[in-house]
Each structure stands twice: as structure tokens, then as C-alpha cells.
């Protein structure tokens, strides 16, 4: 891998136009597999950003909340697994050497007592039924794809995903709020990684290199 730190946000955003980030790759791969992605995100929006630099997603309260909790969640995960938390420099991009369009900006790194370097990704969610118990690998498909792309870019075998969950259930008088912190250990799976790389590289060649737009709508697999 190669690590590049850009002088400011403008230069970093320009560099992002020339690569597929982990979130963008997850949108492409999940859509290809018929799985759901983040609300308001489509392959067409990814393509539009690459072609004209337009960032289509306005920061919502949920997105602000996720950013605000990013570092506390990362610290909690590092404490749980007994590693030293390390943050990348601002406006840093990690590139895969043999496929430069494969890139990411990790939330954090963690150095384990034996010196092994791992990734940490932070999430928040209000849909607890999509997440399995701590210690499992039951995470939503799009988040698993996002982490898998980071592992491919950084060529790291192990990643940890921490999630702060807050959801409501009906009560007699008012909804009852539930809160939980969970963390997951995701191992790099070579076979899945190769499929994902193939899908995303072909997407790049088909749409970005030609300038021809992909479909505007995602096709989501429906389960009866």
C-alpha cells in the first residue's frame, strides 16, 4: 500500500475523484449483488461525482451524529481488543499499489501487542435487527463490503467494526429507548475480495472511463 497525505481538503477531494473509496465501492458491489445500500446513494451518484466532482449527499443529523461519535467508538473498540489506537493524518488516502483506483481513508488503525496493524471502522445505526451480537460477523452487507474494500486497499488481514446502536420500541405510554455498543472482527476473505475488485474495476472501465452513465436507480433484491 501507499499512503499519501494531502495539504488540504480541496486537494483530498480532488484525489477522491480519481479513485473508488470504500463507501463508493460498497454502493457498487452491494447494488451488483442486489443488496440495499445507504438511503439516497446509487451507482449513478458515484459516477456523477467522478465525472463532474459533484458531491450529492448533504450532511444529515444522522451523518453528523456518526462523525461526532467516530473517535469515541474507535477508542472503545481499541480498549475492548487491547490495542493501541492510531489515527491517520487529516486528508490522508491509502492506495493499493497494483490497483491505484482502490483507495480509502480509514477511520483509525490499531496496533496489537504483537505489533500487528489492524483497521477500525466506526458506525452508528438505529436498526438493531440488522446487527448480530458482539463477536459475530453479522453486519449489514454494505458495511461488510465497505470494510472489505478497506482491507483490499490497505492489504490488512483483520479489521474491527464498532457500532453504536440506538433504537426505540413501543411502550405503554411512550417509546422505550435502547442503546448498545457492539464490535465485530472481520477477516479478509480473498475469494470475496477478488470478486468485489472485479465487479468494481469493470464498473469503472464501463462507466467512468467511457463517461457513459450507469442506471439511475438501484435494483434491490426483494425477499418474499
* pLDDT tens digits, one per residue of 69-119: 999 999 999 999 999 999 999 999 999 999 999 999 999 999 999 999 999
Q: What's the whole-number average pLDDT of the chain? A: 91
Per the listing, cell 484525489 goes with 15
Q: State residue 187 phi and psi, 5-degree precision.
A: -90, 145
**What topology does CATH give the domain 2-208?**
Lambda Exonuclease; Chain A (3.90.320)
Q: Is the dihedral of CA 59, 63, 69, 71 positive or negative?
A: negative
pLDDT value at position 201? 97
* pLDDT tens digits, one per residue of 30-63: 999 999 898 878 999 999 999 987 665 566 777 7
Q: Domain map of the chain by residue range?
A: 2-208
Whole-angstrom Cα distance, residue 39 to residue 20? Answer: 19
Is pTM beyond 0.85? Reply is yes
Least confident of 8-12, 89-93, 113-117, 216-220: 216-220
> Cβ neighbours of residue 106 under 8 Å, at least 6 residues apart?
88, 94, 119, 120, 121, 150, 154
Percent of the chain with pLDDT over 90: 76
Amino acid at each position: 500500500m501507499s499512503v499519501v497525505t494531502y495539504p488540504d481538503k480541496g486537494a483530498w477531494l480532488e484525489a477522491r475523484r480519481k479513485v473508488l473509496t470504500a463507501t463508493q465501492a460498497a454502493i457498487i458491489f452491494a447494488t451488483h449483488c442486489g443488496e440495499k445500500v445507504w438511503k439516497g446513494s446509487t451507482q449513478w451518484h458515484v459516477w456523477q461525482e467522478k465525472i463532474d466532482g459533484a458531491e450529492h449527499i448533504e450532511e444529515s443529523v444522522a451523518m453528523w451524529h456518526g462523525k461526532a461519535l467516530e473517535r469515541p467508538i474507535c477508542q472503545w473498540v481499541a480498549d475492548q481488543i487491547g490495542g493501541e489506537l492510531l489515527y491517520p493524518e487529516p486528508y490522508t488516502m491509502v492506495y493499493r499499489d497494483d490497483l491505484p483506483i482502490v483507495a480509502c481513508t480509514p477511520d483509525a488503525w490499531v496496533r496489537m501487542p504483537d505489533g500487528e496493524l489492524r483497521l477500525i471502522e466506526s458506525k452508528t445505526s438505529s436498526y438493531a435487527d440488522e446487527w448480530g451480537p458482539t463477536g459475530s460477523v453479522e453486519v449489514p452487507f454494505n458495511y461488510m463490503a465497505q470494510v472489505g474494500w478497506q482491507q483490499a486497499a490497505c492489504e490488512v488481514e483483520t479489521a474491527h467494526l464498532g457500532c453504536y446502536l440506538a433504537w426505540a420500541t413501543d411502550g405503554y405510554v411512550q417509546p422505550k429507548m435502547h442503546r448498545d455498543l457492539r464490535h465485530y472482527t472481520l477477516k479478509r476473505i480473498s475469494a470475496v475480495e477478488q470478486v468485489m475488485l472485479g465487479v468494481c474495476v469493470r464498473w469503472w472501465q464501463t462507466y467512468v472511463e467511457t463517461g457513459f452513465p450507469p442506471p439511475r436507480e438501484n435494483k434491490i433484491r426483494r425477499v418474499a
